[in-house]
Amino acid sequence: MAVLDLLGRRWALGIIWQLRGDRLTFRALQSACGGVSPTVLNQRLRELRESGVVELSEREGYGLTASGHDLRKALEPLVAWSKRWARGAPASRSLRR
């Protein structure tokens, strides 16, 4: 299941989720993701671009490809679940780092 390898890296899911609406510049994306280090952001973006999920246009910045939008749609049940989960399990959010 290669997709779990692609998406099971830190920020990968978040990046896709942040790009669900308008296109974002590198720096906008960086701050939207809570200040990821540019090293990792760039690495993730490279992987996602090589996977055909994310694309960069010079004018408008980063955005999802058609395939990426499909992926974002496939993520929606997950987000719906997470909302239910956040409501139902308030003690569970304390993951120490």
Partner DNA sequence: TACTGATGCTACGCTTTTGATAGCGCAACA
Partner DNA sequence: TGTTGCGCTATCAAAAGCGTAGCATCAGTA
Cα–Cα distance measured from residue 21 to residue 16, given in angstroms and rounded to the nearest whole number:
10
State in Å, rounded, how far the first CA of the chain is from the last one: 27
Cα–Cα distance measured from residue 69 to residue 67, given in angstroms and rounded to the nearest whole number:
5
Cα–Cα distance measured from residue 55 to residue 73, given in angstroms and rounded to the nearest whole number:
17
Residue closer to its own copies (CB basis): 59 or 96: 96
Interaction of residue 9 with DNA, rule CB under 7 A: yes
Interaction of residue 87 with its own copies, rule CB under 8 A: no
The option from DNA, its own copies, none interacting with 86 (CB < 5 to 8 A, set by class) reads: its own copies
The number of beta carbons lying within 10 Å of the beta carbon of residue 44 is 23
Residue closer to its own copies (CB basis): 1 or 59: 1
Residue closer to DNA (CB basis): 36 or 71: 36
The first and second tokens of residue 18, run together, are: 């942040």
Residues of this chain that interact with DNA (CB under 7 A) are 9-11, 25-28, 35-40, 42-43, 45, 56, 61-62, 97
Residues of this chain that interact with its own copies (CB under 8 A) are 1-14, 17, 47, 50-53, 67, 70-71, 73-82, 84-86, 88-89, 92-95
